[in-house]
Copies of this chain bind each other. A is one copy, B any other.
């Protein structure tokens, strides 16, 4: 992101690319809002807060250290710190010292937090399915994955793709 080609070469998008770009930016603006407002309405959570809880819930011990949690939930450490502070205030998460490294802090999902995820997840999945997958063929789903991976690889070369894979690295 720091080094990138910005050579001025007015080489515009062709019509097919332009159409695709329009569709992509439309998604970029509208899908997060849709997810956020549904989540806010039915669970009183932001989409990112839910994601943090969900990631914790998918781990064997409901525990993840902050820096890992930040990566797999696609957020900065600073953002996560603020969010976990809020979630802790609401009783969904608890923070404790990691045993090995004196610098590390583990976020732990509380029972209430787990209950919240269990209560919220099905509706969330249904909504995602309704907005995205119900309208796509199998081939399109496969294509979407390939396209997404390609773009992600270009934004952040060598970045981990699957959150679960990152979580499994946990000590």
Residues in chain A within 8 A of chain B (CB atoms): 1, 4-13, 16-17, 19-32, 34, 37-38, 42, 51, 74-75, 121-123, 125-136, 138, 140-156, 161-163
Contact = CB atoms under 8 A, between A and B. Distances in A.
A1 B26 CA distance: 16
Number of copies: 2
A113 to B, nearest CB: 19
A153 to B, nearest CB: 7
Give the secondary structure class of A's interface.
Answer: helix
A145 B10 CA distance: 23
A49 to B, nearest CB: 14
A53 to B, nearest CB: 15
Contact of A154 (B10, B32, B131, B153): B131
A147 B143 contact: yes
Contacts of A42: 6
B143 A31 contact: no
Contacts of A141: 16-17, 20
Contacts of A28: 27-28, 31-32
A3 to B, nearest CB: 11
B20 A74 contact: no
A132 B152 CA distance: 9
Given A27-B151, A34-B1, A135-B154, A20 B144 contact: yes
A28 to B, nearest CB: 6
Contact of A155 (B7, B31, B136): B31
